[in-house]
Chain A
């Protein structure tokens, strides 16, 4: 079966750095997405990786290793507004997105 694993919850301090991991086992791979979802709101797109390596976008970076079935989202200089759930999703061989359950990130002052 297809499976996306990410931690249920993480806590970090304002101004610090946090890394959210995602491992996947899917039928085929056509890219990996990270989305941010604030409580009660819709998911919003953060990043897309299809090749191995690090993609940097401001305070957020996303890394992919296809051979290890692994990705992480790195958030730097954490702000209170970064408190949200972070969703990892893989585009499978049928070009359908398979979603992880999300990681709830709690930022403390």
Chain B
């Protein structure tokens, strides 16, 4: 693979269910991010990780958790999904350790919570 992959591509989820969105990159970027994108709004940062083993909260972290056990993977978990979490979720990465601030995005996961 080359770049960032996300799984699943799309999902319909019943409210109250637990869900993990997967994100894997093979570019050895140190930093990774999770965003949600809703119609009429800009991308909003949920959580980020500057390096393996560390994570931080973004603008809209409530209801979401992340982990960064290694450089390549950055899963996002919805512990108990609610309809307001219906959105398109994008994972991104950047090589900030070498001064690169450009973020590269995965293809996205479209989530519908009913």
Interface residues of A (CB under 8 A from B): 4, 30-31, 33, 41-45, 48, 87, 89, 91, 95-102
Contact B43 A31 (CB under 8 A): no
CB < 8 Å neighbour of B90 from A30, A43, A102:
A43
Q: Chain B residues with Cβ under 8 A from A99's Cβ?
A: 42-44
A87 touches B102 (CB 8 A): no
Select one of A41, A87, A91 contacting B43, CB under 8 A: A87
Proximity bits, B95-114, A CB within 8 Å = 1, else 0: 01000011111111000000
Given contacts A41-B107, A42-B106, A95-B96, whether A101 and B42 have CB atoms under 8 Å apart is: yes
Contacts of A4 in B (CB 8 A): 42
B101 and A42 contact, CB distance less than 8 A: no
A33, A42, A95, A100: the one contacting B102 at CB < 8 Å is A33
State A42–B108 Cα separation when bound (angstroms). 6
CA distance A90 to B24 in the complex (A): 25
Closest CB in chain A relative to B73 CB, distance in Å: 18
Binding site for A on B (CB under 8 A): 40-45, 48, 58, 90, 96, 101-108
Which chain A positions have C-beta within 8 A of B41?
A: 101
Contact indicator B108/A102 (Cβ below 8 Å)? no
Give the residue name and chain of the A residue nearest to B110 (CB): A40
The reply to whether A31 and B101 contact each other, CB–CB distance below 8 Å, is yes
A48-B102, A100-B42 provided; 9 other pairs, C-beta below 8 A? Answer: A33-B102, A33-B103, A42-B108, A43-B90, A45-B103, A87-B43, A91-B101, A99-B42, A99-B44
Contact A42 B107 (CB under 8 A): yes
Question: Which residues of the other chain, B, contact A95 by a CB distance below 8 angstroms?
Answer: 96, 101
Chain A neighbourhood of B104, CB < 8 A: 45
**Which chain A residues lie closer than 8 Å to B43 at the CB level?**
43, 87, 89, 97, 99
Which chain B residues border A89 with CB–CB below 8 Å? 42-43
User: Are A48's CB and B42's CB within 8 A?
Assistant: no
